[in-house]
Amino acid sequence: MQADLIIKNAMVLTMDEKLTFYEKADLAIKEEKIVDLSPQTKFQAPKIIEAQGKLVMPGLINTHTHAAMVMMRGLADDMPLDLWWKNFIFPIEKKLLSPEFVKIGVALAAIEMIRSGTTSFSDMYFFEDATAEICKQIGIRAFLGEGVLDFPSPDAENAEKTFKIIQALYEKWGRDPIIHLEVAPHAPYSCGPENLLKARKLAEKLDLPLHIHVAETATEVAEIKLKYGASPVEHLEKIGFLCERVKAVHCVHLNHRDIEILKRRGVKVAHCPESNMKLASGQAPVVELLDEGVVVGLGTDGAASNNNLNLFEEMDAAAKFHKAICSDPTVMDAKAVLKMATSEAAKVVFKEKEIGSLEVGKTADLIILNLNLPHLVPLYNIYSHLVYSAGGAEVETVIINGKLIMEEKNILTIDEAEVMDQARFLAKKIQAEVGHV
């Protein structure tokens, strides 16, 4: 039996429903699919990766970011979200954002994510066609949500224009195997009921997920309360926005009623603990959400509020953050947290039938890690090591949609040094602009 690529003699962590684990197994890939996962495969292939002493696991899924914002990382830190956004991010985006800016930023972000084991990311930003182009070239799986706002965005004078952009993106990328689309109204405070409902209608028409920031800060909650007499979640429920296709990002400030609504409507939550900590936004009630059966995945948010796109660090932070705020070391155990970056994250991006676990018939989005490193010895519990000890640099090889994207730490699909040079050059323009804001 013929396959295209076989990984041999690897330790395999499947993250399937039963959390099946193989001490030693072979994994065969044909085209984009996993066609065999067994102790000794009968498949043959022209390409063999010998993985003795290495770990194969599903690629990590970043459920929320703004990839191109890596260009603003470290530009302005240690200040409240509203000042950070109004004084730094917004003026730069208004003045400098272009398809070229986005391509450079996303290329840099994609390389960073691939190097730290992320094979899929969900993006909310502007010029998403440029993002799609560069992601397609690099070969990273992307879920792209063109941001909808009530006011002019960097690439659209109004929401109507944005809806047209989304329609055009759908026509161009709607059937692509690695570029997936979302409809992304930015937040209940930046999108009024009319545009929120138009976004929902478009998402229904095109059968796409909805991606929205919800209840990130206490300021947002107060603003929505003043304007609509309800919490952000209640407001979205009242106007008829919430449904199973909604991914709500942050959900930091929720009351018990909000959690009940999210559960009843089947809303998925993208949790970004490092961004919430850095901006001092508050403490998302993730333990309660999980207890209620709400699906939660991890996201990094943009690198300007993190300041990297490393999901290994995000897992470590998520586990420790909730133990600290709950004063309970038993919450957010390593297995639960790893699921939030793999199998549960796949549900948050509505692709659990294809990715998030390693099973025959599923798409081959996977990573190979070197375990022969001092900080991973001895090995008693693989979940513990991945969440509490690993940092992402252990990732050596990355396969996305059945294709080798990084092999033995070499990125195969783009010139990494050239991307970093382009980013440094663009940063000079950004720095010059900061002098004017």
Give the residue with the Cβ less far from Zn ion, 276 or 357. 276
Cα gap 193→184, rounded to integer Å: 14
Minimum distance, C-beta of residue 299 to Zn ion, in the bound complex (Å): 8
CB 199 within 8 A of CB 182: no
- Beta-carbon contacts of residue 418 (< 8 Å; ≥ 6 apart): none
Minimum distance, C-beta of residue 98 to Zn ion, in the bound complex (Å): 21
Q: Nearest 5°: CA angle at 245, between 240 and 247?
A: 95
Rg of the chain taking only CA atoms, in angstroms: 21
Minimum distance, C-beta of residue 305 to Zn ion, in the bound complex (Å): 8
Cα gap 369→366, rounded to integer Å: 10
- The stretch near Zn ion (CB under 5 A) out of 11-19, 91-99, 298-306, 390-398 is 298-306
DSSP 274-328: HHHHHTT-----HHHHHHTT--EEE----GGGTS---HHHHHHHHHHHHHHHHT-
Minimum distance, C-beta of residue 64 to Zn ion, in the bound complex (Å): 6
Measuring CA to CA, how many Å separate 134 from each of 131, 145, 409? Answer: 5, 15, 20
Give the residue with the Cβ less far from Zn ion, 208 or 272. 272
344 in contact with Zn ion (CB under 5 A): no
Give the residue with the Cβ less far from Zn ion, 233 or 411. 233
60: helix, strand or coil: strand
- The stretch near Zn ion (CB under 5 A) out of 24-32, 75-83, 101-109, 297-305 is 297-305
CB 230 within 8 A of CB 238: yes
Q: Tell which positions 408-427 bind Zn ion, by CB under 5 A.
A: none
Give the residue with the Cβ less far from Zn ion, 275 or 397. 275
Give the residue with the Cβ less far from Zn ion, 14 or 62. 62
274 in contact with Zn ion (CB under 5 A): no
301 in contact with Zn ion (CB under 5 A): yes
Minimum distance, C-beta of residue 137 to Zn ion, in the bound complex (Å): 25
Minimum distance, C-beta of residue 124 to Zn ion, in the bound complex (Å): 6
Side chain identity at 180, as an amino acid letter?
H
Give the residue with the Cβ less far from Zn ion, 301 or 344. 301
Q: What is the DSSP secondary structure assignment for residue 46, as one 8-state letter?
A: S
Cα-to-chain-centroid distance, residue 335: 19
Minimum distance, C-beta of residue 65 to Zn ion, in the bound complex (Å): 7
Give the residue with the Cβ less far from Zn ion, 36 or 301. 301
- The stretch near Zn ion (CB under 5 A) out of 72-80, 173-181, 295-303, 325-333 is 295-303
Give the residue with the Cβ less far from Zn ion, 301 or 354. 301
Minimum distance, C-beta of residue 213 to Zn ion, in the bound complex (Å): 6
b/e string for 265-289 if b means 16 or more Cβ within 10 A?
bebbbbbbbbbbebbebbbbbbbeb
Residue whose Cβ sits closest to Zn ion: 301
Interface residues with Zn ion (CB under 5 A) are: 301
